[in-house]
Amino acid sequence: MSVTMADVAKEAGVDKATVSRVLKGDPRISPKTREKVWEVIKRLGYKPNALARGLSARKSGLVYIVFEEQDLPQMNRFLRGVGRILAAMDKEPIVYVADYFDADFIRSRSMAHKVEGIIWVGSPPSDMDVPMVAVGDVTNRYVYVSPFWSDIAKEIKKIANGRKIVFVGDTKANSMLKRELAECGTDGENTLWICDGSLPGGIKRLIHPVDQKFLDIVNSDGEFTMGDLLLLFNDINYAKALGGGCIYLPSLEMGVLAARLLVNMLKNREVPQKNLVRLTIEF
């Protein structure tokens, strides 16, 4: 007689819904409960055939890739990494970018398309009932991939060496880094400029501000000078030409990792909820 999900639930002391969520990789299940359920699954030799049949009835091969902003540094490289994994698994990505959706729209369309999973770059809503990998933000509701912001912030503080730190650009990458550097001192005479490169001609305007409005945005009363230091996201050639450095955001690698995590979730494999990716600085 084959082992059923009800058998696993009874042995583990949980309900069938909890067993189902564990098999789907739902991170809302506590590590203690998840480990207990998996121990019973392995001990009883449970094969989730019923779950597989339920999923096969709604398999579409479609995966949503959702970007909350258009100017994410290295978006194309991230998509290349995601596509590399999804193509190998015969999954078809559908990409949505900020101006074309809201959370309710994504929710309704994912149900209509019978989407198998979502990779959400930004801050996903808390009630999406589909396997999800969040990218960029730390979350306790979904499996996530995030740059190791606190680690790179410590390195930037050392590089600043007393300089005032000023940000140019409003992308998610800049806002996350700004949050980690919120309490950095501003005693030095010179400035460490961090530019995400998302603004058209942003670096040119940084060196030669054109109006008071821009000066107010960067919170500075002067221009980029020889005593200042510049850090750019993912543009080492431009950075070196200006005597600065490059913050390398490993977008391709993050895309590959996010897609692998989602694929493993769809295969009912255990995945870690917390997945941090290191950034590097090159001069």
Question: 91-109: per-residue pLDDT in tens?
Answer: 999 998 876 667 778 887 8
CB 185 within 8 Å of CB 162: yes
Would the pLDDT of 13 be above 90?
yes
Tell me the domains of the chain and their CATH numbers. Answer: 5-54 (1.10.260.40), 59-146+251-277 (3.40.50.2300), 149-248 (no CATH)
User: What is the mean predicted confidence (pLDDT) over 212-222?
Assistant: 45
Q: Give percent above pLDDT 70 in the chain.
A: 79
| Lowest mean pLDDT across 212-226, 237-251, 267-281 | 212-226
CB–CB of 107/128 below 8 Å? Answer: yes
Give the pLDDT score at 186.
54
Q: Higher model confidence: residue 198 or residue 20?
A: 20
The confidence score (pLDDT) of residue 82 equals 96
Per-residue model confidence as pLDDT tens digits over 39-83: 888 888 887 654 454 444 457 889 999 998 766 657 888 999 999
Q: Answer whether residue 273 shows pLDDT above 60.
A: yes
Q: Contact at 8 Å (CB) between 189 and 227?
A: yes
pLDDT score at 217:
44
